[in-house]
Structure 1
Amino acid sequence: MFTWLSVVFWHGAWVALSSTVSATVWLASILVLSLLAVAIYRLALHPLARVPGPRLAAVSSCWYAYQVRNGRMLRLGKTLHRQYGPVVRVAPNEVWCASKDAYKVIYSPTAGYEKSEFYLATSLLKPSLSWDLALEVPDTLDLLAERDMKRYRLQRRLIGPVYHINNLRRHEHSVDLVLERAIAQLHTLQGAEVDLKEWMHIIVVECLSAVSLSWSPGYLKDKSDGASGKHAYMGWRRKSVFGLFPAMVILESLSKSAGRAFATLWQVTYHTPKKGFKPFFPAVQRKISQRVKVALWGKPQKDERQDIVADLIQLHKDRPEFNEQYLRRMAITNFGAGHETLTSTLISAFAMIGSHDGVQSHIANELQSVSKTIQYESAMQLSFTQASIKEAQRLYPVIGMSLPRKVPEGDGIELHRLHLPPGTIIGCSPVSLHRDTDIFGPDAEVYRPQRWLQADQRKDMDRYNLIYGGGSRICPGKQLAEMLVSKIVPTLFKHFQVEINLPSEEEMPYYFMAMLTGVKARFVARADVLRS
């Protein structure tokens, strides 16, 4: 009896196990065949099948995301078009372009190429889904992530006067005071080697704090940015990967644990340093909130501070459509959009000028005719210095990936004998476009500032330039950035000879927000150079 029951039991268990194994094998087979069918379709039958590019990129966005995660955007920008041509497929539904014809169409203010869903990952406030599954994006004056052009144009018109150079020059003296302190602190280093990225970040944050809030975060005093620059750059690594999977950005807004799991899967998690971390954003937010609260809701009192936040508060009072939320967001954006883009620009400028002795000597000679406190108007007359800055921005721009747009509804677009249907994600990588020999000449890979002094060539180079974005989406803070960079670079080269130690490009990770990292610098006082 016992034996018979055992046989029955084990036979039933075997049948159940066999059924389970069969079901598992069947489901696995279906999954493999489905993935194989998708791969075949994307490689051979998809509307972009004729577009050249890495075969794995045509199959899955994971190829692109892998390159991004590993910081390879500089290398891809330099090599991808050289290998595959002016139009390259980098994902199943995305292409990079590098030509005049592509730029003219993609970034035309009238062609209707709107920002892609990639920018959801850069949003100040994450998007959400309504009850009918429609995507809802908060109206927060988020100029980088804003995809509604009507809303964007309204916001640009409102803030335009505040960020016009005529208004910004009222705050120039604040920058001068910061640079005086920066020079004094750099002198105390006595030519010791420092991390260029950290010191450029220190100076940028101090300048933005002075111009925006009449305040100092104490970075110059401490000779440290409290690891805030490094921490923020790791944040861009994460955003750059998430942007390639917009559905995950939306899912993360619904479930933070899902976002954490996805970040862990792609190994883009990053943590706050345990020691010495000194972020400036919490203090900035507190000070802005306090200023706005007092100005709008407190007892009337005279505030002598003349800075950008004061200008924005006055704008709110004069133009009610510039609501309080816009006011608060724009005040934060001065720092959020500015501290990394300006740092990146300065690193490129100092790294390139400092590593080319002939260029630095030429700049030193040009600076002999200007006073130690260099005003913006005088700085803009330093033609070779300005050319040297633009040439550095050209080769090592702030944006390391494509500035993606969507082909609008209609017939699609024909580019270089390839048809790209509506809905295709399309854009130019500044790294690639800025090395196009048709625009910048046969030596486009070479750092040669003199090219910007040739009037016949400069017009074309300025036109096809993505340093501050393209077409109708030019950065509204461009003139603030140009004022700061145009003062900081010549002022420091006036006082110091800069010696640069550049790591290999493989050691400098590039993401959507990109900068040269690991660059070491020595700021040697000009007086010491002359004595030697």
Structure 2
Amino acid sequence: MSPELLFGNLGPPGAALTNLIRRSWVSAGNAHQIHTGLHSKYGTVSEFYDSIMPRMKGGKIPDVFATRDEDIHRRMRRPVANLYSVTNLMPFEPAVTSTTEHLFARLDELFLDEDIDVDLFQWMQYFMFDVLGEVTFSKKLGCIAMGGDVEGVIENNWRYFKKIAANTQMPWLDCLWRDNPLIPGSAKRNPLVEFGAARIKERMDLTVEEKVKVVKKDFLSGFITEKTKDQTLPDLFIPTWVNSNMVAGADTTSVLTSALIYHLLKNPSSLSKLQKEIDDAVTAGKLSKFVTWQESKPLPYLDACVKEATRMHPPFALPFERVVPESGLEIDGYHIPPGTRVGMNPWALHREVTLYGIDSNVWRPERWLCEEEKHTAMHSAILTMRLIDQKEEWTIENKWLTKPSGFRVKLSTRG
């Protein structure tokens, strides 16, 4: 190992000798802040994916995100990649619209009172889990209707991320804590995986006549169709695809949606500018009550706000690790030896001043309304109401997912 890596010239002292240091950062829930500080200090300078793999029936499910075998990853992704194209996603808009209507109706019913506040992030989770259930299985989880976490699925999913986050920094701990045959129940199953497995069984148990009646197109029917086309694909791929939708999709989208609303509420001038853009489009008859994707495309400031929210608050904020190949790696004049794990934390990268300017810690959507070359460079670096107290900042707990808390608002009609 190079002296720079071993003795801390490229990082905190001792970090090259033990993973306990970075595991402690993740356990504390603020690794994104520490990584950002280290990035500012030191510059631009695996097995960990095994810890992320969900479990079902005591074994690991190789999913699209966590699989390290490139051939398996290719076999998983290729059959269903087209299902996520814009053309195939647009037919799901009515399902999103109906769920949005339901959300607004419930918020009006429960919280349209100046004396009642609402945990908006929590309701964004209810919304996204219901949407993902609808588009994946044609069946909402029922969170909005209940006004709560159905069967504890959301909370248990968060506990799952809290458990695996620290283990990704020391993957061998999985052998002791999650995959230890001597400890009953150590390989606990993610509740969302269980929910998805139950929906798959329901669909598979339908008679031929009943399946004909299931005319509604959802992701599950698409997954089953792709599996039917190629009988060489393992049966395990269907729950793998379902798992990718539910476990990774709902929480990440609710985090990003909450970040967008939060920063707009914290920056009234930005909110006013966006409201004017939308109002002008409504006056011109260019927007329906529930804006479609096609209708939103000509709204440049809305697009800039979404990009800025993604930059300021990436849903995942731990490094996505890779292993340096046998040829080694040169970064800014430093030689990184083969076998070294390297990665970039999106939270730190998205605050790189050479890309986003000296105000990279500030919400400023206007930075995206720039010349095309600069816009492309910034976009390429993106790795994936009324506040009760305008001065209070929300808190972030980073357990892979950057979960916010303290995002309470009061609702009122726009006058």
Q: Match for residue 403 of structure 1? A: 320
1:429 to 1:258, Cα distance in 2 relative to 1, 3 A: farther
Question: Which amino acid is 1:118 matched to?
Answer: F
Matches within 5 A, 1:114-513: 116-125=46-55, 140=61, 142-188=63-109, 189-191=111-113, 192-226=116-150, 228-251=153-176, 252-255=178-181, 257=183, 282-294=194-206, 301-368=212-279, 369=282, 370-410=287-327, 412-454=328-370, 455-467=372-384, 497-499=385-387, 501=389, 503-504=392-393, 507-513=395-401
Inter-partner Cα distance in structure 2 for 1:329 and 1:84: 39
Describe the superposition over 1:370-394 as per-residue Cα deviations: whole angstroms up to 9, x where unpaired: 2212111112222211211110110
**Cα distance, 1:185 vs structure 2:** 0.9
Question: Which amino acid is 1:154 matched to?
Answer: R
Describe the superposition over 1:321-351 as per-residue Cα deviations: whole angstroms up to 9, x where unpaired: 4443212321232111112111211121111
Gaps of 5+ in 2: none
Question: Which amino acid is 2:174 matched to?
Answer: V
Inter-partner Cα distance in structure 2 for 1:66 and 1:298: 55
1:283 to 1:238, Cα distance in 2 relative to 1, 3 A: closer
Inter-partner Cα distance in structure 2 for 1:364 and 1:63: 45
**Cα distance, 1:152 vs structure 2:** 1.2
How many residues in Structure 1 have an aligned counterpart in Structure 2?
Answer: 401
**Cα distance, 1:65 vs structure 2:** 1.1
Describe the superposition over 1:150-184 as per-residue Cα deviations: whole angstroms up to 9, x where unpaired: 22122221111211110111121111111111111
- TM-score, scaled relative to structure 2: 0.88
Percent identity of equivalent pairs = 24
Inter-partner Cα distance in structure 2 for 1:499 and 1:371: 27
**Cα distance, 1:51 vs structure 2:** 3.5
8 Å Cα contact 1:205-1:339 kept in structure 2: yes
8 Å Cα contact 1:345-1:397 kept in structure 2: yes
Describe the superposition over 1:223-260 as per-residue Cα deviations: whole angstroms up to 9, x where unpaired: 12255434322322221111112212134423363996
**Cα distance, 1:120 vs structure 2:** 0.8
- TM-score, scaled relative to structure 1: 0.69
Inter-partner Cα distance in structure 2 for 1:327 and 1:160: 14
8 Å Cα contact 1:74-1:431 kept in structure 2: yes
Inter-partner Cα distance in structure 2 for 1:220 and 1:299: 28
Inter-partner Cα distance in structure 1 for 2:171 and 2:133: 33
Describe the superposition over 1:66-90 as per-residue Cα deviations: whole angstroms up to 9, x where unpaired: 1110111232133122233332xxx
Question: Which amino acid is 2:172 matched to?
Answer: A
Question: Which amino acid is 1:514 matched to?
Answer: T
Matches within 5 A, 1:5-154: 48-49=6-7, 51-87=9-45, 116-125=46-55, 140=61, 142-154=63-75
RMSD: 2.9
Inter-partner Cα distance in structure 2 for 1:361 and 1:70: 37
Aligned to 1:400, the other structure's residue is in SS state coil
Q: Match for residue 521 of structure 1? A: 409
**Cα distance, 1:141 vs structure 2:** 5.0
8 Å Cα contact 1:401-1:430 kept in structure 2: yes
Question: Which amino acid is 1:80 matched to?
Answer: L
Aligned to 1:53, the other structure's residue is in SS state coil
8 Å Cα contact 1:399-1:430 kept in structure 2: yes
Q: Which has the larger radius of gyration?
A: 1
Higher mean displacement: 300-309 or 208-217:
300-309
Inter-partner Cα distance in structure 1 for 2:276 and 2:134: 30
8 Å Cα contact 1:509-1:516 kept in structure 2: yes
